[in-house]
Amino acid sequence: MKNAKDKKSAIYILRHFKRVDPVIHRVLEGVPLEPLRPVRGPKRYFLKLCRDIIYQQLAGKAAEAIYRRFVNLFPSQNPSPEKVLKISEKKLRSCGLSTQKMRYLRDLAEKVSKKELALHKLRALENEEVITELVKVKGIGRWTAEMFLIFTLGREDVFSFGDFGLAKGLEMLYGTKRVDSQKKVDAITKRWSPYRSYASLAVWYVKDGEW
């Protein structure tokens, strides 16, 4: 915990879950609880979205290796929409990118370059509005947009119903019978608001065996 403000935020979050869900409270007490912070600047938003696309459907180490090679193609490891559009397919393929992901990255770069996706406006939008904007890009679906909300925009009240890891973690925490329908998952996650993102982090910790 970096400062007094962070400690105060963590206390509020823990108090909330102690009141509304002792199961999540118990997990959060035993893991690092760092307040979510928004990444600053549309240039970094673009890089984060590139990373999110590259990481889709890949194991962590493989995805990280491809992402590192991709970033290293650009001066100062700083890909911009214009640079992504100019770089050759051969160089992109050399990173280990599939044809499909190259197409997704180019579509993202083109939409940002043409201002069809205004990254600088995302921070001011509501969650569903951000999702609506991001899914205009080929290869970005609701799940990727929700991860962007949590880990790039630092939104504290997001739960991704389509995330397999969250589904598995919920089963581990509450038992299969308590989470075997959308209605039951809704009932559990609704009471987490306005801190559903922190509860999601707790569930991921459990699923990954880090708690």
Residues 73 and 91: their CA atoms lie apart, in Å, by 8
- Would residue 157 show up in a list of annotated catalytic residues for this protein? no
Distances (CA, A) of 154 to 92, 148, 197: 30, 8, 9
End-to-end CA separation in angstroms for the chain: 18
Q: How many whole angstroms from its chain centre is CA 188?
A: 21
Q: How many CA atoms lie within 13 A of 135 on its CB side?
A: 12
Residues 17 and 191: their CA atoms lie apart, in Å, by 9
Spell out the residues 6+ positions from residue 150 whose beta carbon is closer than 8 angstroms to its own: 36, 158, 197, 200
Among residues 163, 180, 186, 208, the one annotated as catalytic is: 163
- CB 111, CB 117: distance < 8 Å: yes
Residues 81 and 73: their CA atoms lie apart, in Å, by 13
The three-state secondary structure class of 150 is helix
Q: Which sequence positions are flagged as catalytic? A: 163
